[in-house]
Amino acid sequence: MTASTVVLWRHGRTPFNAENRFQGQLDVPLDDVGRAQAAAAAAHLCTLPIDVVVSSDLVRALDTASALTSRTGHTLTRDPALREVDAGEWQGLVGAEIARKWPQEHAAWRRGDDVAMGGGETRIRLGERIAAAVEAHAAAVPDGGTLLVASHGAALKAGVLRLLDLPVTAGSAFAGFRNAHWAVLRRRSRGWVLEEYNAGPPGAAVGAEG
């Protein structure tokens, strides 16, 4: 029992995304643009041979995943391990506020150093958490099947790096996940390989952050 394909899908836009505000694990809902993005992406993703759908338990990811499962009839499994990074005291703030209050830590984070964001998680810890959750769900999918994971931008990027066995410093070579866009990983004999990154239909790109 193991999936051969994993689709990693970021949630649609939220008001915090539109304001460039750190969300972290705050439970911020989709805005109207985000709901339209999720619907546009779901219209494409529902054509794929998906076997299992799992999601972060935060409402923005759940509502994004529900745009798909309402079309396909899949059971939607919630997993708190797929939540966004715990950004500690940075949550709810915009970048300028963080830079003013924590100038050294913010500068280090911007450089790609593995700092604990706002006293919360580091990128390494985040990647380990997300990769472990993805692997656990993939192991419950029938052989050769497809797992779809609805989660968050920083979480999915860190998870991709970990699943590909890349160091966190390689993250600077990857763009951020855009709202309602996804990556596709395929399992090969030596591990996962990246087939698609930041894929999405035209409708999902309207107002996308990332």
Active site residue ranges: 11, 84
DSSP one-letter string for 28-93 = PPP-HHHHHHHHHHHHHHTTS---EEEE-SSHHHHHHHHHHHHHH-PPEEE-GGGPPP--GGGTT-
Sequence length of the chain is: 210
- Interior angle at CA 132, CA 127 and CA 135, nearest 5: 120
Q: Is the dihedral of CA 194, 64, 155, 163 positive or negative?
A: negative
